[in-house]
């Protein structure tokens, strides 16, 4: 039987194709590891908590409540959203929380595995995939919650609701791609993680999460161009049965994300040994 041969040396030539192929192969071969890691983290999380999933939902729900209150009490005046405002706000914050969680996922998962990264050689791609599994788990509960809201506020069932999970998958794809790109730097410097947390708070206000895009002005153009806008809007439109206005932009964003995700995976693969060296030196 031929033995698998590995060669370790200073990387001199770079073939994206070879690296990507290796990356995807490792991803396939480590599917059990990825599932096991996700299962481990999810079980451990729930075993030591009574409220469990509530913690994943609390931020979007609280944010939505604040805005619903501000709106209903007349403290602020928001333009008409076309659907009951509570549904608008809830759907916005829930979708937003999926995007934020997806951006944070690669960096968080890699960071949490620092201990074994510097000790054991295993396919690092499994960390990314296990992150996606965990996102899928959390998101599916969020989706259920949103469906509950949609019916509770009398929006009713539309066939497009069945496509809503697809839009959420788009949100996860977008977030993970973005997260992958910042992970190498984020592992070296703690600042990156802080900047993301901080920046996302502001970014929410230039995305139609709790209010619609204004009809004119600078804010309108910022919000229109913001690549997260089509994700939030398309997902929401599908959930409540409106015709998705930003569908084209949404598809463009996803189409751009796919090659970027592959490039991100290659960069991740190259950078892990460099990072492990700096972490364990």
Q: How far is the CB of 100 from other proteins (least distance, A)?
A: 25
Nearer to other proteins, 29 or 72 (CB): 29
Q: How far is the CB of 32 from other proteins (least distance, A)?
A: 5
Span of 84-92, 132-140, 229-237, 273-281 interacting with other proteins by CB under 8 A: 273-281
21 binding other proteins? (CB under 8 A) = no
d(CA 41, CA 111): 14
Question: For the window 34-63, what string marks contact with other proteins as x by the rule CB under 8 A?
Answer: --xx--xx-xx--xx---------------
11 binding other proteins? (CB under 8 A) = yes
Listed in sequence order, the residues at least 6 apart from 210 whose beta carbon sits closer than 8 Å to its beta carbon are 63, 64, 67, 88, 89, 92, 93, 204
| Footprint on residues 187-226 left by other proteins (CB under 8 A) | 188-189
Span of 6-14, 64-72, 132-140, 154-162 interacting with other proteins by CB under 8 A: 6-14
Question: For the window 60-99, what string marks contact with other proteins as x by the rule CB under 8 A?
Answer: ----------------------------------------
Q: How far apart are the first and last CA of the chain?
A: 37
d(CA 268, CA 184): 7
With residue 38 as reference, give the H or E element that holds it: helix 31-47
DSSP state of 124: T
The beta-strand segments (E) located in 130-257 are none
When binding is defined by CB under 8 A, the residue of 116, 148, 256, 258 that contacts other proteins is 116
Q: Between the CA of residue 227 and those of 224, 253, 257, what are the distances in Å?
A: 8, 7, 11
Q: How far is the CB of 261 from other proteins (least distance, A)?
A: 16
Listed in sequence order, the residues at least 6 apart from 127 whose beta carbon sits closer than 8 Å to its beta carbon are 34, 37, 106, 109, 110, 113
When binding is defined by CB under 8 A, the residue of 20, 33, 61, 212 that contacts other proteins is 33
Residue 276: count of CB within 10 angstroms of its CB: 17
265 binding other proteins? (CB under 8 A) = no
When binding is defined by CB under 8 A, the residue of 185, 203, 242, 260 that contacts other proteins is 185
Do residues 38 and 130 lie in contact, with contact meaning Cβ atoms separated by under 8 Å? yes
Question: In the complex, which residues of this chain contact other proteins (CB under 8 A)?
Answer: 3-14, 32-33, 36-37, 40-41, 43-44, 47-48, 115-122, 184-185, 188-189, 267, 270-271, 273-278, 280-281
């Amino acid at each position: 039987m031929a033995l698998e041969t590995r060669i370790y040396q200073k990387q001199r030539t770079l073939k994206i194709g070879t690296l990507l192929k290796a990356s995807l192969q490792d991803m396939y071969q480590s599917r059990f590891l990825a599932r096991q890691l996700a299962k481990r983290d999810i079980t451990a999380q729930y075993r030591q908590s009574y409220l469990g999933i509530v913690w994943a939902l609390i931020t979007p729900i609280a944010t939505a409540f604040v805005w619903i209150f501000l709106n209903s009490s007349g403290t602020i005046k928001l333009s008409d959203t076309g659907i009951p405002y509570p549904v608008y706000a809830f759907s916005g914050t829930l979708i937003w929380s999926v995007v934020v969680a997806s951006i944070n996922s690669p960096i968080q998962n890699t960071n949490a595995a620092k201990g074994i990264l510097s000790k054991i050689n295993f396919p690092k791609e499994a960390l990314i995939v296990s992150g996606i599994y965990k996102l899928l788990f959390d998101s599916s509960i969020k989706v259920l919650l949103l469906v509950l809201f949609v019916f509770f506020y009398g929006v009713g069932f539309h066939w497009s609701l069945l496509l809503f999970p697809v839009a959420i998958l788009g949100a996860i794809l977008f977030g993970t791609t973005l997260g992958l790109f910042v992970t190498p730097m984020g592992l070296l410097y703690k600042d990156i993680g802080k900047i993301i947390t901080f920046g996302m708070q502001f970014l929410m206000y230039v995305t139609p999460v709790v209010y619609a895009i204004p009809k004119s002005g600078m804010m309108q153009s910022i919000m229109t161009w913001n690549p997260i806008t089509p994700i939030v809007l398309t997902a929401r439109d599908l959930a409540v049965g409106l015709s998705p206005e930003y569908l084209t932009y949404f598809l463009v964003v996803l189409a751009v994300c796919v090659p970027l995700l592959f490039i991100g995976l290659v960069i991740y693969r190259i950078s892990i040994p460099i990072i492990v060296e700096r972490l364990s030196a």
